[in-house]
Amino acid sequence: MSDRILRSAAAVTLAGLVAFGAWAWCSVIDRTHGRWSPQAEVGGGIDHFADDTLFVSTSTRGVLPVVVRPETAITNVVVSDTVGAPGDDTVGELRPGRFVVARGHPVAPGGPLVAATILVFGPGQR
């Protein structure tokens, strides 16, 4: 196969990749507010309030013993590190556009996962 064909195919592929990426990005952005839109309810028995402050009780940094569905985005969160216990680290830097992703392990394949331990608070809401 000639270099010309390979380069042409690469150019088309890369153009498609960039176009797809731009489309994907825009499709998950709330165009009104310029923020990420939640794609689904947060799962696993998690209280999902006004997305303003996030208190995460995790087993370790970035490893949540909680099910946050992979299609879920939590919008516009500010992490409070008031409680900075080693067992309660925040999930790294959360910010608009960053998904909270659960890492955990089911008790058995296909079985339920460990309990939810993530609480999301909004001002004045309980």
Kindly list the residues in this chain that would bind another protein in the complex (CB under 8 A): 1, 3, 6-7, 10-11, 13-14, 18, 20-21, 23-25, 27-28, 39, 45-47, 52-53, 55, 57-63, 65, 70-71, 73, 80, 82-88, 92, 97-99, 101-105, 107-110, 113-117, 119, 121-126
Q: State the nearest-atom distance from the C-beta of 85 to another protein, in Å.
A: 4
Burial, 1: exposed, middle or buried (Cβ in 10 Å; 0-12, 13-18, 19+)? exposed
Residue 47 CB, nearest approach to another protein (Å): 5
Nearer to another protein, 76 or 122 (CB): 122
**Radius of gyration (C-alpha) of the chain in whole angstroms:** 19
DSSP E strand stretches across 47-101: 53-56, 78-79
Output the six-digit token pair for 90: 């925040």
